Amino acid sequence: MQFYPEYIPAANETIEVTYRGTGRSMARVVNSASIAEHQHGADDGVRSRVLHVAAPKARTSADCEVAALALLDDAGQGWTGEYHTWSQFLPGAAADIFPGDGLNVDVPSRAATFSGIVREVEISEFDWLGESPRYTLRFVDAGDPSLAFAFGTPEVRLTRALQAIDVSQVDDIYLSDLTGAEITTVTSTTVSVDAGADIPAGGGIEVRYADAGWSKTNSRNLIGRFTSRSFALPRYARGQTYFLRSYDGSSPSKYSRNSTVLHVDYPL
């Protein structure tokens, strides 16, 4: 880092640098096909849950989307059960059984046919002489979310509406961030920028004075939309900040998930 003479930090002064913004990582993902399949009469087909993923940590909204996608894809049929048997009658004539072992469950009276995973094994000794302990097996559907995630109590209330993303859109609703964008030339009236990436088909680079209002229908705080990788921006003060996102030619346009910030502090 280099500082201009009038901005040299004092001794022991702390310099704080922030990457992007702060806030809770959240996502809302829906399975439209499954909802339509379960609709019947007054039943709208929606089965929803709000979950806080404690492990593995979801550090970004993209992580939350992937976690939600995994939950929707691998949720199984929701079966849980408990099975009691003596040691000599363990499933598959097994010599022993442990948490994590698989079970093939077939219970016609419950119309239950699925692959399960043993979660807990309890052994009770009633026949010391015959060495025939009684086993209690507690199991869940092999697609049960608890096998892959640990859930905690949500730490915050949902204070804003989240855009619902269909499972078919995850990883496809946003464009890549402009992480390679940089300022190439500074003059007293202009700032030249290289976006650091090729322009999306039918799209461009949108530049604003504030990180808000991203839309092709909103012209407030808009500096301009550019269809080339390199472009010039107006400069009106020594210190000037620009916010950039890319957009494509779809309708409505897809944008980058996060804004790229370019700041100039240079003598006029």
**Span 162-180, pLDDT tens digits:** 788 888 888 788 899 999 9
Mark whether 120 and 220 lie in a shared domain: no
Mark whether 162 and 260 lie in a shared domain: no
Mark whether 154 and 57 lie in a shared domain: yes
**pLDDT tens digits, one per residue of 185-209:** 999 999 999 999 999 989 999 999 9
- How far apart CA 176 and CA 32 sit, in angstroms, is 25
4 is a domain residue: no
Mark whether 108 and 229 lie in a shared domain: no
225 is a domain residue: yes
- How far apart CA 98 and CA 138 sit, in angstroms, is 11
Mark whether 210 and 252 lie in a shared domain: yes
Q: Residue 53 belongs to what domain range?
A: 28-74+149-166
Cβ atoms of 263 and 240 within 8 Å: the answer is yes
Work out the mean pLDDT of the chain and round it to a whole number.
86
Mark whether 54 and 160 lie in a shared domain: yes
240 is a domain residue: yes
Mark whether 47 and 115 lie in a shared domain: no
Mark whether 131 and 94 lie in a shared domain: yes
9 is a domain residue: no
> What six digits make up the tokens of 67?
């976690």
Under DSSP, the state recorded for 145 is: G
Kindly report the pTM of this predicted structure. Answer: 0.60
* Residue 115 CB neighbour total at 10 angstroms: 15
**pLDDT tens digits, one per residue of 19-60:** 556 667 888 899 898 889 888 888 898 888 888 888 888 888
54 is a domain residue: yes
Number of domains in the chain: 3
What is the dihedral sign for C-alpha 90, 92, 95, 99? negative
